[in-house]
Amino acid sequence: MKYCVVNAMLLIGVLTACQTPSSTPLPLQQSTSKVIRDCFWDVTAKVWLDINANGVWEMGELPFPGVEIWAQETPSTHVTGERMTWATSDKAGQVKLTLWLAGCPKVLVQLHSVVPDGFQLTTQDESIVVSEGELIKTAFVFGLTHISNTALPLSVQD
């Protein structure tokens, strides 16, 4: 008989523990997780032989293949100032760069060219301001003119 009473008491204890949930909702915890996104941009540049050295690509001026264009973040607390990415101009003088910035910070990115011997830029290296994950300008130009009394490379003579 004692055995039956103990079992009955256990059953009542289990049933009372499984009551319907309280109508008072539990407070939700605020999420402390933070979404961090990365940003990618495709940037194009064109390099040409600027015959009249005026910085404008005009009819009759040819593309300049084989010129290295590279991007660099300006030094700040978050970046090292090292090259981000680089590419070499193709036969059409075109360069495509993909820029990647972890966390989409506000930074200044500069595009530079490696000027071949015997040439000088007729345009300036370009700067891009990246703010709030937005890239304002995505197409850039680099004009090169031949310095007199220097030999033309074969890639430009073709």
pLDDT of residue 135: 62
Residue 71 lies in a domain: yes
| CB 42 within 8 Å of CB 135 | no
Distance CA 29, CA 13 (A): 31
What is the domain range of residue 137?
A: 38-157
Split into its structural domains, the chain has a count of 1
Residue 57 lies in a domain: yes
**What's the confidence (pLDDT) of residue 11?**
46
What residues contact 54, with CB distance under 8 A and at least 6 apart?
A: 122
Instruction: Report yes or no on 19 lying in a domain.
Output: no
**Residue 97: other Cβ atoms inside 10 A:** 20
This prediction has a pTM of: 0.64
pLDDT for residue 82? 61
For the chain of 158 residues, list the mean pLDDT of each consecutive stretch of 10: 46 51 60 68 90 94 94 61 80 90 77 91 81 69 86 57
pLDDT for residue 7? 47
Find out whether 37 and 46 touch, Cβ atoms under 8 Å. no
Confidence (pLDDT) at 123: 93
Looking at residue 87, which CATH number applies to its domain? Answer: 2.60.40.10
Instruction: Give Cα 87 distance to the centre of its chain.
Output: 14
Examine residue 20 and state whether it is found in any structural domain, yes or no.
no
62 part of a folded domain: yes
Tokens 């009394």 belong to 149
Q: What is the pLDDT of residue 8?
A: 46
